[in-house]
Amino acid sequence: MSSVPTARAQTPAEQGGNVRVLGLVTPAGALMIGALGIVFVGLFYRWFVKQHQHSYNAIEDWGHAYVIPLISLYIIWQSRKEIAQIRAEVFWPGLAPFLLGIVTYFAGVITIRNHMIQGFAIVLTVFGLVLLMTGPRLMKYLFIPIGYLVFAVTISEQIMLSITFKLQMVASKGAYILLNLIGTPFDWFTVQIDGNRLDIIHGTERIPMNVAEACSGMRMVVAFLALAVAVALLACKQWWQRTALLLLAAPVAVLMNIFRVTVLGLVSLVNPDLASGDAHTVIGTLLLFPSLLLFLGIVWALNRIYSDASEVSA
């Protein structure tokens, strides 16, 4: 007796007629993505050049913009198994945000002439294009990594100055207290404060330090917020953990900036030139690492609280 072979259910990828590359897209899909990418870069080439100039010329403030797309791709990679089970489909309502993004971009170029608005319009265009080409089922996994791209956009100087001026004053006062705690007990140096200006008095020498120049108006707060969001998305599973981490982003930014000004004040005792230029950039960049460790420590504590609460409930 001959057995009749049973039919095996086809996977969504096999139903599409092609094997998916890395489990995500078919070779034909990869070619389409490549073609759309070339057109996309060509359309918004002007903005990408200016964003590179902003990030490169102020690497300590906006250098994180280079890393943001990589983090977005990694978030997508984490959901690759779920994405591979969903077949892309054309979703025509996605044409509305796609066209709105393009129109807003050129309005930002021709009339408003605002780099930040142009950048947000590009993110909206990406959202519309992906929604149009893949459909709402895939957008469930792509919405967050696309939205995360807003952190790669340089915020307007007027907005940053208005928002961060008070934080800048907090940083100067915090550094004033910390420097006095370090220098006064050992009669090493004293510090005087006048607004956002610190004067470090070492013997007969008076070393002035302007916090606004040293810390660029606390623009690093955007980098800390981007870091907090990345850690929250990648390391936290519960919504309340992610919310707590995001709420702690601003206090951590203020704390790290106080340390930054304090370190700059201490190195200025050795050589005042070390508090500016390349040395200032290096110090600001290195402080991202203890910030990351602090965030990871907070994540560990939050996960520990959740584990203990689950054990007690069980």
Strand, helix or coil for residue 115:
helix
Q: Give the pLDDT of residue 35.
A: 83
Per-residue pLDDT of the chain (314 residues; tens, 9 = 90+): 444 454 445 444 444 444 444 445 667 767 877 788 888 888 899 999 999 998 888 776 788 889 999 999 999 998 888 888 888 888 999 999 999 999 999 998 998 889 999 999 999 999 999 999 888 999 989 999 999 999 999 888 777 777 767 777 887 888 888 988 888 887 788 888 887 778 888 877 888 877 665 454 456 677 778 888 888 888 877 888 888 888 888 788 778 878 888 888 888 887 766 666 666 667 666 776 777 788 788 888 887 876 655 656 66
Across 193-203, b (16+ Cβ under 10 Å) vs e yields: beebebebeee
Give the residue from 12, 221, 30 showing the smallest Cα distance to 137.
12
CA distance 109 to 186: 57
* Chain mean position to CA 126: 17
Helix (H, G, I), strand (E, B) or coil at 178: helix
Q: How many CB atoms lie within 10 A of CB 31?
A: 11
The pTM assigned to this predicted structure is 0.74
Per the DSSP assignment, residues forming a β-bridge with 190 are: 201
Q: Give residues with Cβ within 8 angstroms of 124, minimum separation 6.
A: 97, 100, 101, 104
